[in-house]
Amino acid sequence: MKSGAMSPLESRLKSVDQMLSYCKTEKQREAVELVYVRGLTKADAAREIGIDRKSLKERLEQVERRAERANQLVGEISKKVRGFRVGIIGDTHLPYELDGYLEFCQETFERHEVDTVIHIGDFVDNHSLSFHDSEPTLHNVQGEYESAYERAQEWYEAFPEATLIMGNHDRIPSRQLAKIGMAPSIYMKPIEDLLGMPDGWKVADSVEIDGVLYHHSETAGGINGFRKDAEQRMRCTVSGHNHSNAGISATATDDQLVWGLAVGCGVNQAHMAFAYGRNFAKKPIISCGVVINGVPHIEYMDLGSKVRRLR
């Protein structure tokens, strides 16, 4: 055992002492001591006290609820003191994401002990609804939607709680409706309903955590767009959108330093949905980001012999 580490017995005794500290009456203390200290079953404890099991259960639950509320408060205070550990998923363009990218994000976030997950935008592709010409061999609107919906369920299972930053591809259906004069707020379901998002998923245009701005950043194009975005705003930013941007770049004045983090993406460049980029010199970078207490990190997915880059 490492020096300073508590044994299982010490941990249990500490837990029992904490439970006893949340007892407000002698009756509650008696119930906790019988069940948690002496290890009696609830039925045996109730018989020894001379009450029914329901009454014993109510006494224990009162203490347990008080302990749970206190632990939640401690957790919230601790998080405010130490800051957040944010994991950022790059553009996925479901159903055309790269095989293994979900698992890569999971492993990366677990390793960094992430407590907050953000998808930086373009969760889905909506290729068949695009304003640009669609590839004729791909899904029609219904087929692509069903495939994306099915793939999304795996992301919800992997990350039960997350915030989706709306990207330009996520907005394609609403933009198409608006183009023909139909208000999306009237004629279209919210994206949460369209994609069957669980209660733990939230949707936003941008969020700020520990003073860092997280947004999709359609306007910050170009190879140094993410750096210029941070520079123009003079604040730390995290962005997606440009698949061939991934990394951290900082700029400073005499009294302030800010950085921009481009998280890369998780798309399958070989898929026909991305045929438009086959002749581009700059290829997608498969990666995700982590920001720990306001400090940025980039993690690249190992793609084998052509390390961290697709052909």
- Per residue in 260-291, pLDDT tens? 999 999 998 776 555 565 666 678 899 999 99
Structural element, H or E, at residue 15: helix 8-21
CA distances from 259 to 64, 104, 110, 226 (A): 44, 25, 24, 9
Q: Where are the domains of the chain?
A: 8-78, 83-300
Q: Name the CATH architecture for the domain at 8-78.
A: Orthogonal Bundle (1.10)
- Using a 10 angstrom Cβ sphere, with 0-12 exposed, 13-18 middle and 19 or more buried, the burial of residue 62 is middle
Answer yes or no: are the C-beta atoms of 53 and 45 closer than 8 Å.
no
| pLDDT value of residue 75 | 59
One-letter amino acid at 195 equals L
65: pLDDT strictly greater than 80: yes
Q: Per mean pLDDT, which range of 11-15, 95-99, 221-225 is the poorest? A: 11-15
53: pLDDT strictly greater than 70: yes
| pLDDT value of residue 218 | 81
Confidence of residue 311 (pLDDT cuts 50, 70, 90): very low
Average pLDDT, the chain: 83
Answer yes or no: are the C-beta atoms of 305 and 130 closer than 8 Å.
no
Give the gyration radius of the chain's Cα atoms. 25
| pLDDT value of residue 3 | 42
* Of residues 4 and 300, more confidently modeled: 300
Q: Reply yes or no: is the peptide bond before residue 95 cis, omega within 30 of 0.
A: yes
206: pLDDT strictly greater than 60: yes
Overall average pLDDT of the 133-154 stretch: 76
Q: What CATH code is assigned to 83-300?
A: 3.60.21.10
| pLDDT value of residue 4 | 47
Question: One fold for both 8-78 and 83-300?
Answer: no
User: By C-alpha distance, which of 64, 105, 69 is closest to 87?
Assistant: 105
